């Protein structure tokens, strides 16, 4: 039997998949290199066998001795050092790795990896390994948002299937504030555990809609709702982490689109409908998290309406937007693909309303939440949902939207597996007992 971290799926400890795993931490030359020591300590504590490789520049920020002490193993600092290579070469380390983490991944190291260079121990291991690679970028905010860095990251994700954690938003060593800060070591460990255990959506084409829609009254005003897009973005990013190829159709939202996810930005329900039409063509799963405005103004004024023109009391004529989920359910007919997941934002009779939506919108699963409950629903970082399908209702424990996203995806994976399974054979009728012949 094959023993290994990837089989350890049922474990409750989130770091459990790391136990016994061979993890290479590649440290490249940025100020956040010192945080790699804490990362290595946490990985070691989680039971991983950690090998550290460093670029020459990384060694200017932190000494190899620190990592050697933490891992009790030699550290790879020089690709061309015969003594280092004689004990165990970088190719062997790359071969036996279950996971390679690059932390920090600087703009320069990302560019070099995207170009397939391999002239230092870190890039050589990255190129030689067949294990998943997790990048934890850290750099100046302008470097991070530079189109070249963005293109390099996308290339590593799209072409090589690398995973990315962070960067976080915060005060950077260069005194700028914004995205660029190395993800917290504990978050990198969590992401590493996910990469090792959770590739159950590998190759699945998933479309996720998120955020509100804004239906313009005039160039300044709109009819909309309180959705922030957080739940949908969390689903898109969790699915991407689990190997899905995700297209996110995102309504007006302050959130940055998740790295590695193809994002289409839309403003209103009509645009969302167009974007969906294209995106769902070859989708395996569609998750409609978007809070689509049910109505739009019958007429959009091209110029800003003046207060005087509107008068002391105003009424705006509204027309109904199409129910996009119901349209998808109808178009699908008797085919069961794509698997359709809807949301139900409710303030009363949450389960009853969700059950109705399951039927009227002809979808496979409705994620119901009580948006009036504190810590649940719009704009907050946590959620409490109930999963409603034809077999009943399952309450998901309250958690961060990212945690809840994973629980929803667990259910999607289970539903896909059940749909793919051959129909259970009807139990065989017991054979009539043969009459015993008398001799
Ligand atoms: N939805 C949709 N198109 C609409 C309205 C809703 O596709 N015009 C989708 C949402 O993305 C969600 C589900 O339908 O997945 C339920 O949305 P919700 O706002 O809870 O319900 P409504 O259908 O708008 O019904 P009601 O407002 O009466 O509860």
Measured distance CA(347)–CA(343) in Å, rounded = 13
Our answer on whether the CB atom of 323 is closer than 6 Å to any ligand 1 atom is: yes
Cβ of 207 closer than 6 Å to ligand 1, yes or no, is no
Domain count, the chain: 2
pLDDT in tens, 40-85: 999 999 999 999 999 999 999 999 999 999 999 999 998 777 666 6
Domain co-membership, 148 together with 294 = no
Cis peptide before 167 (omega within 30 of 0): yes
165 CA from centroid of ligand 1 (Å): 32
pLDDT recorded at residue 430: 62
pLDDT band at 171 (very low <50, low <70, confident <90, very high): low
341 against 261, higher pLDDT: 341
For ligand 1, atom 21, the nearest C-alpha belongs to 344
The yes-or-no verdict on residue 6 having pLDDT over 50 is no
Q: Give the distance (Å) from ligand 1 centre to CA of residue 243.
A: 28
Q: What pLDDT is recorded for position 2?
A: 29
The answer, yes or no, to whether any atom of ligand 1 lies below 6 A from the CB of 357, is yes
- What pLDDT does 11 receive? 40
265: nearest Cα among 212, 343, 342, 198: 212
Residue 160 maps to which CATH number?
3.40.50.1950
Tell me the CA–centroid distance for residue 23 and ligand 1, in Å: 44
| Cα(331)–Cα(384) distance, integer angstroms | 31
* Domain of residue 335, residue span: 205-304+315-419
- For ligand 1, atom 4, which residue shows the shortest CA distance? 323
Domain closes at, from 196, 226, 246 = 196
**Catalytic site includes residue 174:** yes
- Across the range 203-216, mean pLDDT stands at 96
Q: Please give the mean pLDDT across all residues of the chain.
A: 87
Q: Tell whether ligand 1 has an atom less than 6 A from the beta carbon of residue 345.
A: yes
On whether residue 432 sits in a domain, the answer given is no
The residue whose CA has the least distance to atom 27 of ligand 1 is 294
Residue 390, pLDDT > 90, answer yes
Q: Are residues 134 and 249 in the same domain?
A: no
Say yes or no: 295 and 382 in one domain: yes
Mutation to probe ligand 1, out of 285, 288, 386 (largest number of atoms < 8 A from CB) = 288
Lowest mean pLDDT among 104-113, 121-130, 314-323, 369-378: 369-378
Q: What is the mean pLDDT of residues 10-30?
A: 83
Share of the chain above pLDDT 90, in %: 58
Q: Specify whether 343 is located in the same domain as 259.
A: yes
Q: Which amino acid residue places its CA nearest to atom 12 of ligand 1? A: 343
Verify that 70 and 27 share a domain, yes or no. yes
**What is the mean pLDDT of the segment spanning 291-320?**
88
Q: Which helix (H) or strand (E) holds 374?
A: none
- Residue 308: what pLDDT? 76
Q: 169: pLDDT confidence band, cut at 50, 70 and 90?
A: low
Give the least confident one: 77-86, 295-304, 328-337.
77-86
Nearest 5 degrees, angle CA 36-CA 38-CA 40? 70
Residues 208-217, mean pLDDT to the nearest whole number? 97
Helix pair angle (185-197, 35-45), 10° resolution: 50
Does residue 3 sit within a domain? no
Using the mean position of ligand 1's atoms as its centre, give its distance from the Cα of residue 288 in Å. 9
Pull the structure tokens for residue 351: 């389960």
Residue 271's H or E segment, with its range, is helix 269-279
Q: Are 100 and 125 in contact (CB under 8 A)?
A: yes
Mutate to test the pocket of ligand 1, among 341, 344, 348, 408 (most ligand atoms within 8 A of CB): 344
The phi and psi torsions of 335 (rounded to 5 degrees) equal -65, 150
For the Cβ of 287 lying below 6 angstroms from any atom of ligand 1, the answer is no
Beta carbon of 213 within 6 Å of any ligand 1 atom: no
The predicted pLDDT at position 195 comes to 87
CA of 377 to the centre of ligand 1 (A): 14
Where does residue 317 fall: left (phi above 0), alpha (psi -120 to 50 degrees), or beta otherwise? beta
Residue 84 is predicted with a pLDDT of: 64
Would you list the DSSP string of 67-85? HHHHHSS--B--TT-HHHH
Q: Which of 251, 294, 351, 389 to mutate to test the pocket of ligand 1 (most atoms within 8 A of CB)?
A: 294
pLDDT band at 277 (very low <50, low <70, confident <90, very high): very high
pLDDT of residue 1: 30
Kindly indicate the confidence band of residue 88, based on its pLDDT and cuts at 50, 70 and 90.
Answer: low
Q: How far is the CA of 294 from the centre of ligand 1 (A)?
A: 7
Residues 271 and 129 in one domain: no
Buried b (16+ CB within 10 A) or exposed e, 170-193: eebeeeeeebbbbbbbeebbbbbb
Please state the rounded mean pLDDT for residues 237-263. Answer: 86
Identify the residue whose C-alpha is closest to ligand 1 atom 24. Answer: 294
The alpha carbon of 219 and the centre of ligand 1 are apart by a number of angstroms equal to 25
Does the C-beta of 325 come closer than 6 Å to ligand 1?
A: yes
Same-domain pairing of 180 and 277: no
| Residues forming a β-bridge with 114 | none
pLDDT score of 290 more than 80: yes
Whether residue 325 sits in one domain with residue 242: yes
Taking the centre of ligand 1 as the mean of its atom positions, its distance from the CA of residue 251, in whole angstroms, is 14
Q: What tokens does 378 get?
A: 């719009």
Atom of ligand 1 nearest to the CA of 366: 15
Q: Which residue minimizes the CA distance to atom 17 of ligand 1?
A: 344
pLDDT at 13 over 80: no
Same-domain status, 135 and 188:
yes
> Do 192 and 213 lie in a common domain?
no
Report the C-alpha gap between 431 and 77 in whole angstroms. Answer: 72
Whole-angstrom distance, CA of residue 69 vs CA of residue 47: 16
Burial 297-324 (b: 16+ CB within 10 A, else e): beeeeeeeeeeeeeeeeeeeeeeebebb
Overall average pLDDT of the 368-392 stretch: 84
Which residue in the list 174, 220, 310, 379 is annotated as catalytic?
174
């Amino acid at each position: 039997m094959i023993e290994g971290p990837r089989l350890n799926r049922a474990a409750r400890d989130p770091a459990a998949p790391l136990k016994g795993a061979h993890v290479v931490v590649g440290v490249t030359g940025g100020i956040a290199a010192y945080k790699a020591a804490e990362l290595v300590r946490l990985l070691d504590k989680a039971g991983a066998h950690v090998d550290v490789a460093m670029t020459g520049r990384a060694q200017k920020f932190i000494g190899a001795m620190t990592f050697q002490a933490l891992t009790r193993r030699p550290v790879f600092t020089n690709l061309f050092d015969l003594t280092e290579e004689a004990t165990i070469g970088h190719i062997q380390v790359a071969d036996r790795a279950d996971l390679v983490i690059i932390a920090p991944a600087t703009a320069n190291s990302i560019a070099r990896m995207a170009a397939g260079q391999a002239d230092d121990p870190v890039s050589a291991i990255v190129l030689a390994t067949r294990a998943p690679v997790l990048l934890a970028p850290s750099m100046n905010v302008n470097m991070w948002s530079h189109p070249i860095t963005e293109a390099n990251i996308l290339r590593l994700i799209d072409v090589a299937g690398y995973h990315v954690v962070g960067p976080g938003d915060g005060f950077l060593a260069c005194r700028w504030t914004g995205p660029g800060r190395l993800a917290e070591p504990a978050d990198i460990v969590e992401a590493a555990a996910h990469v090792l255990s959770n590739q159950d959506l590998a190759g699945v084409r998933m479309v996720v809609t998120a955020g509100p829609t804004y239906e313009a009254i005039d160039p300044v005003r709109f009819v909309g709702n309180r959705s922030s897009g957080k739940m949908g973005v969390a689903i898109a990013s969790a699915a991407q982490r689990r190997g899905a190829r995700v297209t996110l159709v995102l309504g007006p939202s302050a959130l940055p689109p998740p790295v590695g996810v193809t994002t289409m930005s839309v403003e209103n329900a009509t645009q969302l409908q167009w974007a969906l039409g294209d995106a769902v063509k070859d989708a395996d799963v569609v998750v409609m998290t978007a809070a689509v405005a049910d109505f739009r103004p019958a007429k959009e004024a091209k110029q800003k309406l003046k207060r005087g023109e509107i008068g002391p009391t105003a009424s705006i004529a509204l027309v109904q937007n199409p129910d996009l989920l119901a349209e998808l359910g109808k178009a699908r007919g008797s085919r069961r693909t794509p698997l359709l997941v809807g949301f139900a934002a409710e303030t009363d009779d949450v389960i009853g309303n969700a059950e109705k939506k399951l039927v009227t919108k002809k979808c496979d699963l409705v994620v119901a939440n009580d948006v009036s409950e504190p810590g649940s629903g719009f704009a907050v970082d946590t959620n409490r949902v109930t999963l409603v399908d034809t077999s009943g209702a399952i309450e998901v424990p309250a958690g961060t939207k990212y945690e809840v996203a994973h629980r929803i995806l667990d259910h999607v994976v289970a539903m896909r597996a059940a749909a793919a399974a051959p129909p259970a054979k009807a139990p065989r009728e017991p054979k009539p007992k043969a009459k015993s012949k008398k001799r």
